[in-house]
Structure 1
Amino acid sequence: MVAAVASILLTSCYSYTSVVGEGAQGNQEKTEWNHYVVYGLAPVGVSDSKEMAEGAENYNVHTRQTFVNGLVSALTFGLYSPTTTTVTK
């Protein structure tokens, strides 16, 4: 029982970063939410990082589950599981 509670309470938000070209050359950021259902298994609306970069050839893409995303997912019991993508160029 303790292990089950600990595994739920000690989970962390995931995060990954992709570098396109030589990476971000400035600090302009654009952030959008990605929408998934059923514990993230089925995408409903996912942001397009290339479109978010608005033609830039060098940029960073950071996708993560923020605290707010995790809270929304917990409140909906995982039926709706959003993530956040930020493009820095």
Structure 2
Amino acid sequence: MTYKKMLRQLAVLICTIALMSSCYPYKVISGNGPQGKGEVTQWNHYVIYGLLPVGVSDPKVLAGDSNDYSVYTRHSFWNGLVSAVTFGIYTPTTTTVKR
């Protein structure tokens, strides 16, 4: 197998993996939803491609005494950059709670 052919196959494999990944954002609304009282954002900490949680935020704590709020969890650009730099060993996500 030639070097060019191996390099081409590696490029196809990397592109395939990149296209198969997703950022899997999700949003949950509690009560009547946010009432415009502010928002709190916090990172969640995972290791080994997100398989093992190390420190995960609690939306009820972030919402404080409010019963009406929304929770939005996602991979931000910065989360993805940190994950890429650490080769997936550390994979954070971001949680935003709007009250």
Instruction: Give the TM-score normalised by structure 2.
Output: 0.82
- Measured after TM superposition, the shift of residue 13 of structure 1 is 2.5
Please identify which structure carries the higher strand content.
1
> After superposition, what is the alpha-carbon deviation per residue over 1:31-69, rounded to whole angstroms, capped at 9, x for unaligned?
000000011000000001000000100000000000110
Q: How many residues are aligned here?
A: 89
Residue number in structure 2 paired with 1:48: 58
Q: Give the greater-gyration-radius structure (CA).
A: 2
Of residues 53-62 and 3-12 in structure 1, the stretch that sits farther from structure 2 once superposed is 3-12
Task: Find the partner of 1:32 among 39, 42, 45.
Answer: 42
The reply to whether residue 6 of structure 1 matches residue 31 of structure 2 is no
Residue number in structure 2 paired with 1:20: 30
Provide the alpha-carbon RMSD of the alignment.
1.5
Of residues 74-83 and 2-11 in structure 1, the stretch that sits farther from structure 2 once superposed is 2-11
- Structure 2, unaligned stretches of length 5 or more? 1-8
Instruction: Give the TM-score normalised by structure 1.
Output: 0.90
- Measured after TM superposition, the shift of residue 27 of structure 1 is 5.2
User: Percent same amino acid among aligned pairs?
Assistant: 55
**Amino acid corresponding to residue 86 of structure 1 in structure 2:** T
Please identify which structure carries the higher helix content.
2
- Measured after TM superposition, the shift of residue 22 of structure 1 is 1.2
- Structure 1, unaligned stretches of length 5 or more? none
